[in-house]
Amino acid sequence: MRLQLVAQLRLGLTIGSLALTVTFRDAQAQSSADPPSSKGPAPATPSGVTAGRPPGSNLTEHFSLDYGQYADTDHVFVETPSVSGKVSNPTAGWSVGGQYLVDVVSAASVDIVSTASRRWQEVRQEGNVDASYKPKTLGVQANGSVSDEPDYLSWSAGGSVTLDLADKNVTWLFGYAHGHDVAGRTGTAFSVFSHVLDRNAFNAALTLVLSPRTIATFVGDLVLEDGDLSKPYRYIPLFSPGTNVPRGAPIGLVNELRVSARPLEQLPLSRERYAITARMAHRFRLATLRLDERLYADTWAMKATTTDAIYLLDVSRRVELGPHARLHAQTAVNFWQRAYLFGPGFEYPALRTGDRELGPLVNVTAGFTLRLGLGSEANPNSWILGFDLNATSTQYLDDLYVTSRISALSGMTLETDL
């Protein structure tokens, strides 16, 4: 069973939004006349620290080893080791990179227990590659990824075009990606049973260098989904009209109140998603502040807002640390019901779901980041060891079984430029 934890593990945008991370160099190495990122948006390391490039070399080889762990009070545990690398030539304007990761999931959540299933384990593998070329003001980028697990196969491919204007103080980006997902049942061939979803994602971004120390980015996303990704293992309890089913009703009470029929989940066969994101990054003398605000809406009537802030302080040339905070709130989709009822003729509701992530909820995240430069005295950031720890409290406002969840995400990164 596919658990949609990847976006949660990375605490990123949920609908394929553009990853535009601003990287600021050591303030002591910059003059006020040199903008911190004069070439606009560029790939960055997981934090605000950038591994140092050997002086006098046009070729940069960047490697990273990452290990993440996720656990929550709903008995879901995930381990994610990954390795990535990138070779680039900043002078010529090209780069080629790739990443491979594994998600090892172990779960005994209330959704599994409610279907009389036992704890299960699953392994998901993902690989992706990307390449870019930007010799002057016009650049192109292409990327592709493949994800595989016992009952789920997904691939995507896309590209983008960037254009620098106004002496590289204004950068436009236009991107497109196509994704294809196939969900099935473990042990059953896709040719026998499968649900297919096709996804077309469009995005546009504008980055403005407002001052030598301040950058603003505005991103718009449109994602068009066509197909059926109803969970083939998720059975929905039904109740007779007039039955009072309280919020957070435990499994025993649900089984006592429900009727015998339990149809499979059925979601709409298409969805349009819209999002607008604004990001502001400012470099103080010894710190970096980044603020994000994202507004989301879709044709299932869900609306959401996400506010994210991170503050990184340069304790020394080798140490950077700071807090991270995130607030997310969303409304339910228009077919959401805590307890689905038989119709007048005892027919099933046409649309039904047990996915509490489609219901109304609020979550708050607080975390901390630490980056240590382990390189030589002349180039301390040639090797970087990073640690991240985030805890999230989620309140489900209108759901069976679970009313709240506490989750923790920790990560460790070792990266270097050779």
SS3 (DSSP) at 172? strand
Residue 47, pLDDT above cutoff 90: no
What's the rounded Cα separation, in Å, for the pair 9 and 102? Answer: 13
Per-residue pLDDT averaged across 150-176, rounded? 97
Q: How confident is the model at residue 15 (pLDDT cuts 50, 70, 90)?
A: very low
DSSP state of 265: P
Q: How confident is the model at residue 14 (pLDDT cuts 50, 70, 90)?
A: very low
Average pLDDT, the chain: 87
Q: How confident is the model at residue 163 (pLDDT cuts 50, 70, 90)?
A: very high
pLDDT in tens, 61-110: 999 999 999 999 999 999 999 999 999 999 999 999 999 999 999 988 88
- CA 273 vs CA 59, 197, 223, 292, 356: distances in Å: 40, 14, 5, 19, 18
Q: Which of 50, 141, 57, 115 is nearest to 386 (CA)?
A: 50
* Percentage of residues in the chain having pLDDT higher than 90: 75
Q: How confident is the model at residue 17 (pLDDT cuts 50, 70, 90)?
A: very low
Residue 8, pLDDT above cutoff 50: no
Q: How many CB atoms lie within 10 A of CB 69?
A: 17
The pLDDT assigned to 56 comes to 52
Q: How confident is the model at residue 418 (pLDDT cuts 50, 70, 90)?
A: confident
DSSP state of 356: G
- Of 51-55, 153-157, 380-384, the range with the lowest mean pLDDT is 51-55
The pLDDT assigned to 21 comes to 35
The pLDDT assigned to 236 comes to 94
Question: Going by DSSP bridges, is the β-strand pair 238-239/340-341 parallel, antiparallel, or unpaired?
Answer: parallel
The CATH class given to the 6-417 domain equals: mainly beta
Q: Where are the domains of the chain?
A: 6-417
User: Residue 241 contacts by C-beta under 8 Å, 6 or more apart in sequence?
Assistant: 341, 342
The pLDDT assigned to 57 comes to 58
The pLDDT assigned to 58 comes to 83
CA 405 to chain centre: 19
Per-residue pLDDT averaged across 135-154, rounded? 96
E strand spans, 212-349 = 214-227, 238-239, 270-283, 287-298, 303-314, 319-330, 340-341
* pTM (2 d.p.): 0.85
pLDDT in tens, 235-265: 999 999 999 999 999 999 999 999 998 999 9
The pLDDT assigned to 25 comes to 32
User: Residue 140 contacts by C-beta under 8 Å, 6 or more apart in sequence?
Assistant: 132, 133, 134, 159, 160, 161, 162
SS3 (DSSP) at 8? helix
Exposed/middle/buried for residue 393 (C-beta within 10 Å: 0-12, 13-18, 19+): middle
Q: Which of 41, 45, 109 is nearest to 369 (CA)?
A: 45
Residue 308, pLDDT above cutoff 50: yes
User: Residue 239 contacts by C-beta under 8 Å, 6 or more apart in sequence?
Assistant: 245, 257, 258, 259, 339, 340, 341, 342
Range among 20-29, 36-45, 236-245 rated most confident: 236-245
Both tokens assigned to 88: 């680039």
Q: Which of 385, 381, 394 is nearest to 51 (CA)?
A: 381
DSSP state of 269: S
Q: Which of 168, 180, 198 is nearest to 269 (CA)?
A: 198
Q: Which of 123, 76, 85 is nearest to 104 (CA)?
A: 123
The pLDDT assigned to 186 comes to 85
What's the rounded Cα separation, in Å, for the pair 325 and 281? Answer: 15
